């Protein structure tokens, strides 16, 4: 039931029909977190955006190999390739083995992703486990004349590359802009040009994370890992590369240059970038005091938060905006999302209880088509959600007996809700609701069994059920809707 999917390709700056290179296989690479990143809210957006894409492709029966890396060879900042890396610094300060730091953050990230109902990728490679592949690619770039050695470090020669290819094509920059805007950093004197970037850095004596190579004892530049690992697992040419907009430059620009310099051709067919998250209209930042971790959201333990927010509220809120728009977090907006999600999920419950009639007064086929059209239009989740709320109105009208639905249409409406809410948008009922529902259903079984015993005048069994429940603190009493229970 594959339908044409259109995705916005950052490289061509337009929506394109998605045509995999080698259908039904799809290679998807997404830049994962840098493990020192404190599990903050910003991690949720690319994870959820590309989770929806992953789910949609699987829904259409594509065989997706989804690779999402973990950056565990630290780097100073996203736009720098110098200085002591953060993992090493934390390890030194806390007297830990760097891999202990990596393990701690990786586990926390996985827990956060599980809470957000983000599916695990097919492969989650770590930069530190792919040093050999990175060095091999550096050798290829050197052999092709697009890199040079300086004091044991290897730098990408942007000027040489730019004579044959366009450096800056993804982010819409050219080399002259870069001359004026590149920041001066330590080790600058080693480079021919300020915009050259490190492929391999010779490690200072105090640098803990280091590997031997023919160039020096050192470590790879940050951009190398994604080029090397995407090539290893998805091949020299693959379908989709995603990540946050903040990674377009320099990270993804450098990836394009590295792959082209090593292999002679570009590796990625579609580049996709999600926009950023703001908090109360401001960019997130440690210095602004609005740097909120996902755990703080889930526990309500940050001073800017009025309450704890269920991970599904956070997920639903993020999906209420298109991934290429910014999302602004505030208590009011999250509380509105919480109410919206609960309306959607309770309509789904109501839908299960609706009985079909002979005829239909509702147009469920159009609703179903509109949901597919929206999701196929560059993952337009806010429009999908708007259509689902039209469905909520429909369900309430049916439930009130003001309209009728036949068996076929009821099945379409149920499958539309199930497919979009759970399978594609990846939402789920909060864990507590599921537990409570189950407990209630189990209690119904016991209450019915006791009633059957009473009907058969089997007083011993009826009393035994009541007494055993009473011993657990559960009271049964007759109410207007039959026997009710309370703890
Ligand atoms: Zn990357």
Determine contact, residues 259/272, Cβ cutoff 8 Å: no
Q: What percent of the chain has pLDDT over 90?
A: 73
* Spatial distance between the Cα atoms of 372 and 368, rounded to a whole number of angstroms: 7
Q: Which residues contact 468 (CB under 8 A, 6 or more apart)?
A: none
Name the residue with higher pLDDT: 283 or 66.
Answer: 66
- Provide the pLDDT confidence category of residue 37 given band limits of 50, 70 and 90: low
Calculate how far, in angstroms, residue 82's C-alpha sits from the geometric centre of ligand 1.
17
pLDDT, the chain, mean: 90
Q: Choose from 32-41, 210-219, 427-436 the range with maximum mean pLDDT.
A: 210-219
Report which of 335, 358, 324, 325 is spatially closest to residue 10, judged by C-alpha positions. Answer: 324
- Provide the pLDDT confidence category of residue 181 given band limits of 50, 70 and 90: low
Calculate how far, in angstroms, residue 221's C-alpha sits from the geometric centre of ligand 1.
11
Name the residue with higher pLDDT: 483 or 184.
Answer: 483
Q: Does the pLDDT of residue 184 top 60, yes or no?
A: no
Calculate how far, in angstroms, residue 250's C-alpha sits from the geometric centre of ligand 1.
10
Q: What share of the chain is helix, strand, coil (3-state, %, to 5)?
A: 50, 15, 35
Burial of 175 (0-12, 13-18, 19+ CB in 10 A): middle
Calculate how far, in angstroms, residue 114's C-alpha sits from the geometric centre of ligand 1.
22
Calculate how far, in angstroms, residue 352's C-alpha sits from the geometric centre of ligand 1.
44
Calculate how far, in angstroms, residue 24's C-alpha sits from the geometric centre of ligand 1.
25
The per-residue pLDDT for 75 is: 56
Calculate how far, in angstroms, residue 432's C-alpha sits from the geometric centre of ligand 1.
37
Determine contact, residues 209/172, Cβ cutoff 8 Å: no
If residue 464 lies in a helix (H) or strand (E), which one and from where to where?
helix 459-471
Sign of the torsion formed by the C-alpha atoms of 293, 299, 302 and 304: positive
- Provide the pLDDT confidence category of residue 79 given band limits of 50, 70 and 90: very low
Name the residue with higher pLDDT: 477 or 44.
Answer: 44
Calculate how far, in angstroms, residue 387's C-alpha sits from the geometric centre of ligand 1.
35
Q: List, in sequence order, every residue forming a beta bridge with 357; answer none if it has no partner.
A: 406
Calculate how far, in angstroms, residue 155's C-alpha sits from the geometric centre of ligand 1.
18
Q: Where in the chain is the domain with CATH 3.40.50.620?
A: 7-274
Calculate how far, in angstroms, residue 226's C-alpha sits from the geometric centre of ligand 1.
5
| For range 264-271, the mean pLDDT | 96
Q: Does the pLDDT of residue 72 top 90, yes or no?
A: no
Calculate how far, in angstroms, residue 12's C-alpha sits from the geometric centre of ligand 1.
20
Calculate how far, in angstroms, residue 19's C-alpha sits from the geometric centre of ligand 1.
23
Calculate how far, in angstroms, residue 368's C-alpha sits from the geometric centre of ligand 1.
36
Tokens of residue 9, six digits: 């390709």
Calculate how far, in angstroms, residue 29's C-alpha sits from the geometric centre of ligand 1.
9
DSSP structure class, residue 34: B
Determine contact, residues 85/209, Cβ cutoff 8 Å: yes
Q: What percent of the chain has pLDDT over 70?
A: 93
Q: Does the pLDDT of residue 98 top 90, yes or no?
A: no
Calculate how far, in angstroms, residue 412's C-alpha sits from the geometric centre of ligand 1.
41
Calculate how far, in angstroms, residue 45's C-alpha sits from the geometric centre of ligand 1.
15
State the number of CA atoms in the 13 A half-sphere of 46 facing the CB.
24
The per-residue pLDDT for 264 is: 95
Calculate how far, in angstroms, residue 31's C-alpha sits from the geometric centre of ligand 1.
4
The per-residue pLDDT for 481 is: 67
Calculate how far, in angstroms, residue 254's C-alpha sits from the geometric centre of ligand 1.
10
Q: Does the pLDDT of residue 186 top 60, yes or no?
A: no
Of 349-363, 416-430, 450-464, 470-484, give the lowest mean pLDDT range: 470-484
Q: Does the pLDDT of residue 291 top 60, yes or no?
A: yes
Q: Where does 70-122 have alpha helices with state H?
A: 86-94, 98-115
Query: What Rg, from alpha-carbon coordinates, does the chain have?
Result: 28
The per-residue pLDDT for 333 is: 96
pTM value? 0.87
3-class SS of residue 6: strand
Q: Where in the chain is the domain with CATH 1.20.120.640?
A: 279-424
Q: Does the pLDDT of residue 76 top 60, yes or no?
A: no
| For range 136-159, the mean pLDDT | 97
| For range 100-122, the mean pLDDT | 92
- Give domain 7-274's CATH architecture: 3-Layer(aba) Sandwich (3.40)
Calculate how far, in angstroms, residue 77's C-alpha sits from the geometric centre of ligand 1.
13
Calculate how far, in angstroms, residue 280's C-alpha sits from the geometric centre of ligand 1.
28
C-alpha to C-alpha distances, 161 to 144, 167, 175, 210, 452, nearest whole angstrom: 10, 7, 11, 28, 82
Determine contact, residues 170/164, Cβ cutoff 8 Å: no
Calculate how far, in angstroms, residue 198's C-alpha sits from the geometric centre of ligand 1.
15
Taken as a whole, the chain contains a residue count of 487
Calculate how far, in angstroms, residue 112's C-alpha sits from the geometric centre of ligand 1.
20
Sign of the torsion formed by the C-alpha atoms of 398, 404, 409 and 411: positive
| For range 91-117, the mean pLDDT | 87
Calculate how far, in angstroms, residue 380's C-alpha sits from the geometric centre of ligand 1.
24
DSSP structure class, residue 189: G
The per-residue pLDDT for 78 is: 35
- Rounded to the nearest 5 degrees, what angle is found at the Cα of 477, between the Cα atoms of 472 and 479? 145
| For range 401-428, the mean pLDDT | 97
The per-residue pLDDT for 81 is: 39
Calculate how far, in angstroms, residue 56's C-alpha sits from the geometric centre of ligand 1.
22
| For range 237-252, the mean pLDDT | 95
Q: Does the pLDDT of residue 74 top 80, yes or no?
A: no
Tokens of residue 254, six digits: 């450098």
Q: Does the pLDDT of residue 80 top 50, yes or no?
A: no
CATH class of 279-424: mainly alpha
Calculate how far, in angstroms, residue 463's C-alpha sits from the geometric centre of ligand 1.
65
């Amino acid at each position: 039931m594959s339908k044409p999917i259109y995705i916005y390709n950052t490289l061509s700056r337009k929506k394109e029909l998605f045509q995999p290179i080698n259908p039904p296989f799809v290679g998807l690479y997404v830049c994962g977190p840098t493990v020192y990143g404190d599990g903050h809210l910003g991690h949720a957006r690319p994870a959820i955006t590309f989770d929806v894409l992953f789910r949609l492709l699987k829904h259409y029966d594509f065989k997706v190999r989804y690779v999402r890396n973990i950056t565990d060879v630290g780097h100073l900042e996203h736009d720098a390739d110098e200085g002591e890396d953060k993992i090493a610094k934390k390890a030194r300060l806390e007297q830990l083995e760097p891999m202990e730091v990596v393990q701690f953050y990786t586990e926390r990230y996985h827990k956060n992703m599980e809470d957000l109902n983000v599916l695990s990728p097919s492969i989650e490679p770590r930069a530190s486990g792919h040093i050999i592949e990175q060095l091999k690619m550096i050798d290829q770039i050197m052999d092709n004349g697009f890199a040079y050695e300086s004091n044991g470090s290897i730098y990408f020669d942007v000027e040489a590359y730019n004579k044959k290819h366009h450096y800056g094509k993804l982010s819409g920059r050219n080399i002259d802009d870069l001359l004026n805007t590149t920041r001066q950093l330590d080790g600058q004197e080693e480079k021919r040009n300020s915009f050259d970037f490190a492929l391999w850095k010779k490690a200072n004596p105090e640098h803990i994370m280091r590997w031997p190579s023919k160039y020096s004892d050192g470590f790879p530049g940050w951009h190398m890992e994604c080029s090397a690992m995407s090539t290893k697992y998805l091949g020299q040419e693959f379908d989709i590369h995603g990540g946050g907009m903040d990674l377009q430059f320099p990270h993804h620009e450098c990836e394009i240059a590295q792959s082209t310099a090593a292999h002679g051709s570009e590796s990625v067919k579609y580049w996709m970038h999600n926009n950023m998250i703001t908090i109360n209209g401001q960019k997130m930042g440690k210095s602004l005091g609005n740097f909120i971790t996902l755990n703080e959201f889930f526990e309500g333990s940050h001073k800017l938060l009025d309450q704890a927010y269920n991970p599904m509220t956070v997920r639903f809120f993020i999906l209420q905006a298109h991934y290429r728009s910014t999302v602004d977090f505030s208590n009011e907006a999250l509380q509105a999302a919480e109410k919206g999600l609960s309306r959607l999920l309770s309509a789904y419950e109501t839908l299960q209880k609706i009985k079909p009639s002979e005829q239909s007064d509702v147009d469920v086929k159009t609703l179903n088509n509109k949901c597919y059209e929206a999701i196929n239009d560059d993952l337009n989740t806010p429009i999908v959600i708007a259509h689902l709320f039209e469905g909520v109105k429909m369900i309430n009208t049916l439930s009130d007996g003001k309209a009728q639905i036949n068996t076929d249409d009821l099945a379409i409406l149920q499958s539309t809700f199930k497919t979009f809410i759970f399978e594609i948008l990846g939402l789920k009922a909060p864990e507590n609701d599921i537990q409570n529902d189950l407990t209630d259903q189990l209690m119904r079984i016991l209450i019915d069994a006791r009633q059957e015993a009473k009907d058969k005048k089997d007083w011993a069994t009826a009393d035994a059920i009541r007494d055993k429940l009473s011993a657990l603190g559960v009271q049964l009493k007759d109410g207007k809707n039959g026997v009710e229970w309370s703890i």
